[in-house]
Amino acid sequence: MASSTLSQTLLPISSTTTSNPPSNATAQVALRGILANSSDSVRHALSRRRPWSELLDRSSFSTPQSFSDGTLRLRKNLPYFRINYYAVVSLTVAVCLLSNPSSLVILLLLLSAWLSLYLLRPSDIPLVLLGRTFSDFETLSVLTVLTVFVVFLTSVGTVVFSAMLVGVSVVVAHAALRVPEDLFLEQKEGSQSHSVGLFSFLRGAAINAAVSAAAAPNTVAARG
């Protein structure tokens, strides 16, 4: 009896514990993946731009003879210089935001809220604020309402939309005044790669980042 009791006391007791990496580390990995893929995609897109000297060649500008002539120039120049035009509009928006620091700060805070509260938050960790647990749907709804409020009911929307309007106006004016000359020879190339623009690469960067995150253990689960 004593030996049986002793053997029972000597039986090893093993306990398995699972350790998950900190959520902050997971979010940092996902954020670095998104930034790296976005940076590579933007660089690749900008490498396809036309030479700026060709875009600004003074000898290639003239007033269109008719409305149809201006429309024809738009149809040829927009796909041909599309990457340059994306850069012009983006630069215009950036300059306007830098000249309005308050709007820039509000946009950065809004972006930080989206990243920390929804996009980069692990799906298995609920969001708890002020002692209340929020579901993913509630979090998305609150962020959407906040975004609509910031964009449409504050000066941020006015600054961004005004900057985009100025940039688009510059692009349309340039495309209407720029004589296409022999650009139609490369129109086929432009139409075939039309979808391979700057924004397409940005969308691809998000997809690549999601794939990279899924390959790592305990990464951020994809959200809709």
pLDDT attached to residue 183: 57
Q: What is the pTM of this model?
A: 0.61
Report the share of the chain in percent with pLDDT over 70: 62
The per-residue pLDDT for range 98-137, each reduced to its tens digit, is: 999 999 999 999 999 888 888 877 777 778 877 888 888 8
Cβ atoms within 10 Å of 81's Cβ, excluding its own: 23
| For residue 221, pLDDT beyond 70 | no
Closest alpha carbon to 175 in 70, 58, 68, 91: 70
Q: What is the mean pLDDT of residues 158-172?
A: 95
Strand partners, 204: none
Report the share of the chain in percent with pLDDT over 90: 35
The per-residue pLDDT for range 69-108, each reduced to its tens digit, is: 999 999 999 999 999 999 999 999 999 999 999 999 999 9
Identity of the highest mean pLDDT range in 73-87, 178-192, 204-218: 73-87
The per-residue pLDDT for range 5-26, each reduced to its tens digit, is: 544 555 555 444 444 445 556 6
